[in-house]
Amino acid sequence: MKGEPIVILLVEDDPAHAEIVRRNFREFRMANRLEHVEDGQEALDYLHRQGRYTDPETAPRPGLILLDLRLPRVDGLEVLQNIKEDPDLQSIPVVVLTTSAAESDMVRAYANHANSYLVKPVDFSQFLELMKVLGYYWLVWNANPL
Amino acid sequence: MTSVDIREKYASWIVFALFLVLAGGIIVAAKVYYDHHALHYREEVAFSLSAIADLKAGELVQWRTERLGDGSLFSGNANFCDLVRRFLFDPENEEDRERIRIWLLRTWSAYGYDRVFLLDAEGNERFSIPASLYPGSRIVAEGARKALHSGKVTFQDFYRNEHDRRIYLTVLAPLPFREPGPGGASGAVLALRIDPEQYLYPFIRRWPVPSATGETLIVRREADSLVFLNELRFQAGTALTLRQPLTKTDLPAVKAVLGQFGVEEGVDYRGEPVLAATRPVPESPWSLVARMDLAEIDAPLREQVWIVSLLVGSLLGGSGAGVLLLLKHLRGGFDRERLAAAALLGIHQERLEMAQAIAHAGSWEYLPAEDAIWGSAETFRIWGMEAPPSGKVPFDEIAARIPDRERERVRVSLMDLVITGNSYEVEFPVLSADGGRERIVAAQGILHRNERGEPEKASGVVQDVTELRRKERELEEKNAELERFVYLVSHDLKSPLVTIKTFLGYLEQDVARGQTDQAAQDMTFLRNAADKMGKLLDELLQISRIGRMLHEPETVPWDELVREALDAVAGAIAQRGVAVRVDPVLLTLRGDRRRLVEIWQNLLENAVKYMGNQPVPLVHLGVGGHGQDVVFFVCDNGMGIDPRFAAKIFGLFEKLDGKSEGSGLGLAIVKRIVELYGGKVWMESEGTGRGTCFRFTLPGALQHSSKKGGENHER
């Protein structure tokens, strides 16, 4: 834990779901900075500082990536694969956060070295609890060389 | 070998065995008959020989008795004896002399004696009829003295006269005197000389029936020798000359003089094998032999052998012919059976071929020795080849039909089957003879071994699985799509649900905390999520209908379909100010009118939606290609699509822009309809900002149009 704020990159095409995540992190005051991109292509642009993210200031390196799977243009799994194959990016923990509980998705996510796979709960309090635990685990307890 | 062949072979053997038994029987019967006949015949010959011997012996005895009787006539005549006594006293007495001459002359002429003469007691010849050139033999003189001494009429047996060298017999009749004769003589002897050539030899030689070798002969014993007494049939000058030692007992004559009489085989004086009957001639030193050469005796037997052989031959020939006839008859029966079997086979063959044609499965055999394949009619149909008359083609000819990339694999599998007996189950493409479309063929086979366990041939079935594989692939695609569909539905429906539940929670908090601003915002999220779900469900319903619900096919000109589609999206077109260009095309399609319209409608909607910032938006509709290769297109000059995403866009609920309206179902619907008509849809774009072209084919809709005479429109 360093003094610097940890940047979280949220890859989520559903604005409502993005809002939920944003509210939770705000509530638990864990993320000083939450960057939100809406599809896979944008996520890649952000991470590789392409397109509108050429400025390092607008696209700081994230300490955690929350990744939805079903995304327009470039699929979440493709993004995951891209990250894990990139020597500069592969050390960033990627937590898959999706509504899909399909086994095939989990298998493919882990095959692409996802650090964690979380299914969005339909229940409100469970969702809140999950976000709380997720925040503490990855942002407080999880040791990170960065 | 068929069962008919085996039975025929079996029957042939039985018939052949029957023939052998028959032939054996005939030969044995002939042999028994002949042996019996030969025995009987020999017995008969022996019997006639005996009869001849008996007859001759009897006659000889009779002849001798008569000759002795002749002698006795003089011996017992006292007057004649007295006359002789007087004559001896006075030979010059004419009266007595004349009387004696008459007696003797009468005897000589009446009885056929060679010479009749008187001997005095000294053995001197005193009177002879006829008067002889040669004097009488000393043997006779000696015999005469003995006869006079014994007083009995005796035979002087065969002897040779030392003066004329001839053979004679002589009957010596003593003529006793009642009163002493001259010199005190007690009597004289009358000699009746017989020349055997006159009567005896011809008599002995005479054979009662015609015969080439039949002969009777008489012999007598002289010390240790056998002497032949008469002239023999096959050898001259034998009488009293030819002798045989008594040790040669294989001569029946020798046995006879040793006292063994009967009928037996032996050899004669020439050394020839003979059958002989021997008899004693009573009251004489003679033995009589009636003999005949075995060669002559057996001649009729040899003839009989010929006749029997001929009979046996003809019987064998006859039975052989009968057997052949039987065989032919049997063969005829078997041939008829074979014909019937062949006819039945033909029917089965026809049925089999029909069954194969219906099942699209052919049968084949691989013959390693010839490296050739035999195939049924259906097999060749599947291979797309003309079936050769023999039904056989070299394997290489088949292999040539398999595309290069697969040929080796098929060959290796087949060799594996032939060499190791490993199961053969391969699937491979086959090109038809005209180089047309590839067909997928599945072949299976097993190995047959001969009785020594060596691989002999492989046989199996071949099946055209082109349709099957195509349908399988289709089904797989459908399944995959369905899976994707279920997955997407569960995900996409769950997503707004999560939103709803969560924001309901927030709303509760808002209410509890009295945060009305926040509540209004949360409720917007709720409303959007619910709307999204509703729309999603509508679209699901819509897409599920495409495959299931088809309206009656109609024949519609292409431009009419396009016009309907343009009408449906007229609002959006006008709003965005899009210019539409429709090529003039004369083409008629046949299918579900509403579905066909939907294709162009969705593509137009898509084009307008993704026009981007294009200042001069333009959409171009038209048709390219010819015949079955007709390709429809809908092109725009809008924002274009990154080629990287080209494959994704036709998926269910896929959108390239998360913020755009719609669920991303439009292109998926287009794809489904195109596929319903057996077509393909694809996208071409040179990249972002460079416009997009959607192209698709509809062979199913064109096929119907061509039947309706729409070909003119296609060109």
CATH assignment at residue B428: 3.30.450.20
Same domain as B76, residue B190: yes
A32 pLDDT band, cuts 50/70/90, is low
Please state the rounded mean pLDDT for residues B308-337.
88
Please state the rounded mean pLDDT for residues B317-336.
87
pLDDT, residue B383, reads 82
Token couple for B285: 């030193």
Is B479 part of any domain? yes
**A132 contact B CB<8A:** no
Nearest CA to B570 out of B525, B592, B601 is that of: B601
* pLDDT tens for each residue of B235-290: 888 888 888 888 888 888 888 888 888 888 888 888 888 889 998 988 888 989 98
**ipTM of the complex in this document:** 0.86
Nearest CA to B289 out of B324, B331, B333, B255 is that of: B255
Residues in CB range of B41: below 8 A, 6 or more apart:
B297, B300, B301, B304
Is B351 part of any domain? no
Angle at A120 between CA A118 and CA A126, to 5 degrees: 105
CATH code, domain with B572: 3.30.565.10
Task: Name the residue with tokens 């020795």.
Answer: B369
Same domain as B122, residue B94: yes
Residue B704 in this model has a pLDDT that exceeds 60: no
B708 pLDDT band, cuts 50/70/90, is very low
Among candidate residues B408, B437, B462, the one where a domain is terminated: B462
Selecting from B494, B654, B655 the residue whose C-beta is nearest the C-beta of A99 gives B494
**B302 contact A CB<8A:** no
Is A143 part of any domain? no
Mutation for B interface: A39, A69, A73, most B CBs within 10 A: A73
Total domains in chain A come to 1
Same domain as B86, residue B116: yes
Q: Per-residue DSSP letters for B476-515?
A: HHHHHHHHHHHHHHHHHHHHHHHHHHHHHHHHHHHHHHT-
Q: Which residue of B has its CA nearest to A21?
A: B502
pLDDT, residue B710, reads 35
Selecting from B501, B504, B658 the residue whose C-beta is nearest the C-beta of A13 gives B658
B711 pLDDT band, cuts 50/70/90, is very low
CATH code, domain with A28: 3.40.50.2300
Task: Spell out which residues of chain A touch residue B496, defining contact as CB-CB under 8 Å.
Answer: 16
Q: Which residue of A has its CA nearest to B497?
A: A122
Beta bridge mates, A8: A34, A64
Same domain as B573, residue B694: yes
Q: Per-residue DSSP letters for B295-330?
A: HHHHHHHHHHHHHHHHHHHHHHHHHHHHHHHHHHHH
Would you call the peptide bond into B130 cis, given omega within 30 degrees of 0 as the criterion? yes
Is B55 part of any domain? no
Is A2 part of any domain? no
d(Cα B485, Cα B540) in Å, to the nearest integer?
9
Is A52 part of any domain? yes
B1 pLDDT band, cuts 50/70/90, is low
Among candidate residues B179, B194, B209, the one where a domain is terminated: B194
Same domain as B632, residue B585: yes
The fraction of chain B above a pLDDT of 70, given in percent, is 95
d(Cα B307, Cα B309) in Å, to the nearest integer?
5
Please state the rounded mean pLDDT for residues A7-31.
84
Please state the rounded mean pLDDT for residues A2-23.
84
d(Cα B54, Cα B44) in Å, to the nearest integer?
15
* pLDDT tens for each residue of A99-121: 888 888 899 999 999 999 999 99
CB contact under 8 A, A102 and B506: no
d(Cα A36, Cα B166) in Å, to the nearest integer?
178
Among candidate residues B344, B372, B403, the one where a domain is terminated: B344
Residues in CB range of B645: below 8 A, 6 or more apart:
A73, A74, B656
Same domain as B409, residue B337: no
Residue type for position B161: N
**A103 contact B CB<8A:** no
Is B507 part of any domain? yes
pLDDT, residue B215, reads 87
Looking at A129-133, B450-454, B694-698, which range is the least confident one? B450-454
CB contact under 8 A, A121 and B498: yes
Same domain as B290, residue B273: yes
Is A146 part of any domain? no
- Give the three-state DSSP class for B207: coil
Same domain as B448, residue B313: no
A85-110: buried (b, 16+ CB within 10 Å) or exposed (e) per residue? eeeebeebbbbbbbbbebeebbebbe
CATH code, domain with B222: 3.30.450
Selecting from A14, A72, A125 the residue whose C-beta is nearest the C-beta of B495 gives A14
**B529 contact A CB<8A:** yes
Same domain as B186, residue B69: yes
Token couple for B566: 């343009």
- Give the three-state DSSP class for B556: strand
Please state the rounded mean pLDDT for residues B669-689.
83
B662 pLDDT band, cuts 50/70/90, is low
* pLDDT tens for each residue of B566-604: 998 888 888 888 899 999 888 888 888 888 998 999 899
Which structural domain range is residue A29 located in?
7-137
Output the CA–CA distances (angstroms, integers) from residue B257 to B64, B75, B260, B275, B290, in the order listed: 19, 32, 7, 17, 14
Same domain as B326, residue B411: no
Same domain as B679, residue B628: yes
Task: Spell out which residues of chain B touch residue A15, defining contact as CB-CB under 8 Å.
Answer: 525
Task: Spell out which residues of chain B touch residue A100, defining contact as CB-CB under 8 Å.
Answer: 487, 490-491, 494
Same domain as B129, residue B187: yes
Say what the alpha-carbon torsion angle B690, B691, B693, B694 is, to the nearest 10 degrees. 130
Nearest CA to A70 out of A34, A33, A109 is that of: A109
The fraction of chain B above a pLDDT of 90, given in percent, is 9
Nearest CA to B272 out of B246, B249, B291, B259 is that of: B291
A133 HSE (CA, 13 A, CB side): 9
Q: Are B469 and B440 in contact (CB under 8 A)?
A: yes
Chains A & B: contacts with CB separation below 8 Å: 71
Q: Are A12 and A69 in contact (CB under 8 A)?
A: no
Total domains in chain B come to 6
Which structural domain range is residue B474 located in?
465-549
For chain B, the average pLDDT equals 84
Is B350 part of any domain? no
Is B353 part of any domain? no
Selecting from A23, A104, A120 the residue whose C-beta is nearest the C-beta of B498 gives A120
**A78 contact B CB<8A:** no
Residue B171 in this model has a pLDDT that exceeds 80: yes
pLDDT, residue B627, reads 72
Note which residues in 422-481 of chain B have CB less than 8 A from chain A: none
